[in-house]
Amino acid sequence: MSESVRSTTRTSWWWVIGGCVAIRVAIPLASLAAEGTALPGLPAFRYGPLYGDANGYYAAAREIVAAVARMALPLVVIAVFAAGLLYGAVRRRARPALIAGVAAAGASSAATLVVLEMRPAGAPVVGWPLLWAFGLVPLRLLAPGFGPDAAFVVGVGISFLAIGATVVAVAYVGLWSSGKRTVGLLAAALFALWPLVPGLVVGERGWENGTWLVDSGLALYTEPLSTALVVGAIALLLRPAATDLAIVIAGLALGYATVVKLTDGVIVATLVGVLLVTRRWRHAALLAVAGFVSAPLFFAYWDKGYVATYDGGIAASEHPFGLEHIVPAWGDSLLFSPLLVALLVLPAMVGLSSLRGAFPKAAVTVPIVVTVVTYSLYDATPIHPRFLYVALPLVLVLDAAGVLSLLSAVRARRSQAESVRVL
């Protein structure tokens, strides 16, 4: 392929992805602009500004901002120390992966000090409030008395950035797992149009309990950030001839995803296992080590999150996980009806066979399987289908590969039939 053709292809690729990002963000923006009015195929959005767990995340973000103010001097010391280490590493021409690890370790240390200083505020996890607080710091400086209205704007902006990043990551997961640009672009398009699917396939039931608002980013829950981190990391793992830097960034993203949503830790563990099984020893070690950079955050917040909320437990019920929850998880799901599951699973099964190697197949399917298994055993899954959102983009990648494989098979059969007629 000539350089001009390659450049044109790359430009077209980014135009299509940019369009998918615009569509994915435009859907909730349209709902927000029509506040109180239901647009065709969409639920009516009524500004709260905050609902449900978002109040706890907001309170935690405010507490983090306050804790930063109380810890200003120690944080400056850590920043100076980390900057010195980075300067030395750069001067000695250390490997980029090491530089990224040092920078992340410094940020994790500073964040851990802040988390240790903060008081429990009702958020079950700290990853999302921590990032939200980062966006609120300038607001605190400009308008110290800001409230939920201003915080909503910041939170929605971050959520939309995460959703846009997921669209891009989905495209690259499709490209690098199949070797076909068309798979990546179709997967990105499917994810961009997904907010329209619940209303079309499931009806209004698919919008209940804030399910659609979480998916769209308007609810200010953890799912958009969790999904972006996990899918982005998988894209980096699938990158052809992935460098140590790419693997370390993937590990850092997955480690932070665990403090955004605790069950993402299961995905991290299984991806390390996939790398080991496929004999990618170095990548497995780098991914695991980078993932542990966020471990101090996890332990620092442990007794301030679920444990504080549920008086020593991790859920409202005494036995949240069990085999008896499998049937209700799917039979009573607000969103994943039998029809929708069939529409997702059947082309995905075809698409799996079209991926180009053992590692891409495992990297895409194993996170889906562990997510489905984990939340099939959880008692709250029927009314909170959002728990499964982290695996949805990967399913759509398989769907895109399956649809294109079927279309290719149909075209080949028609071509063969026409050849026979000519003969």
Q: What is the pLDDT of residues 113-145, one digit of tens each?
A: 999 999 888 899 999 999 999 999 888 888 878
At 6 the pLDDT is 62
Please give the C-alpha separations between residue 28 and each of 22, 31, 52, 268, 401, in angstroms, as whole numbers: 11, 5, 19, 30, 27
Positive or negative, the CA dihedral 207, 209, 210, 215 is: negative
Q: What is the average pLDDT score of the chain?
A: 90
pTM for the whole structure: 0.93
Reduced to 3 states (helix: H, G, I; strand: E, B; else coil), residue 378 is strand
Least confident of 48-52, 158-162, 286-290: 48-52
Residue percentage of the chain with pLDDT more than 90: 70
On whether the CB atoms of residues 136 and 67 are closer than 8 A, the answer is no
pLDDT band at 168 (very low <50, low <70, confident <90, very high): very high
- The C-alpha atoms of residue 176 and residue 100 are separated, in whole angstroms, by 24
Residues 6+ apart with CB under 8 A from 271: 233, 234, 237, 254, 287, 363, 366, 367
Select the more confidently predicted residue: 85 or 261. Answer: 261
Token pair belonging to 163: 């959703």
Q: Where are the beta strands (DSSP E) in 113-262?
A: none
Mean pLDDT confidence for 168-196: 97
Reduced to 3 states (helix: H, G, I; strand: E, B; else coil), residue 263 is coil
Phi then psi for residue 321, to 5 deg, are: -115, 135
Select the more confidently predicted residue: 94 or 301. Answer: 301
Annotate 307-374 with DSSP letters as a single string: HHHTTTSSSSSS--B-GGGHHHHHHT-SS--HHHHHHHHHHHHHHHHHSSSHHHHHHHHHHHHHHHHH
What would you measure as the largest C-alpha separation in the chain, in angstroms?
84
On whether the CB atoms of residues 192 and 216 are closer than 8 A, the answer is no
Q: Where are the domains of the chain?
A: 51-320
Residue 8 has pLDDT above 60, yes or no: no
pLDDT band at 309 (very low <50, low <70, confident <90, very high): confident
Nearest to 251 by CA among 90, 89, 108, 61: 108
Q: What letter does residue 222 receive in the DSSP assignment? A: S
At 141 the pLDDT is 81
pLDDT band at 268 (very low <50, low <70, confident <90, very high): very high
pLDDT in tens, 17-72: 999 999 999 999 999 999 888 899 899 999 988 999 999 999 999 999 988 888 87
Least confident of 273-282, 315-324, 346-355: 315-324
- The C-alpha atoms of residue 156 and residue 63 are separated, in whole angstroms, by 19
At 346 the pLDDT is 96
pLDDT band at 421 (very low <50, low <70, confident <90, very high): low
Residue 4 has pLDDT above 70, yes or no: no
Token pair belonging to 199: 């209303």
At 316 the pLDDT is 67
On whether the CB atoms of residues 203 and 381 are closer than 8 A, the answer is no
On whether the CB atoms of residues 384 and 315 are closer than 8 A, the answer is no
Residue 391 has pLDDT above 90, yes or no: yes
On whether the CB atoms of residues 167 and 191 are closer than 8 A, the answer is yes
Positive or negative, the CA dihedral 322, 324, 327, 332 is: negative
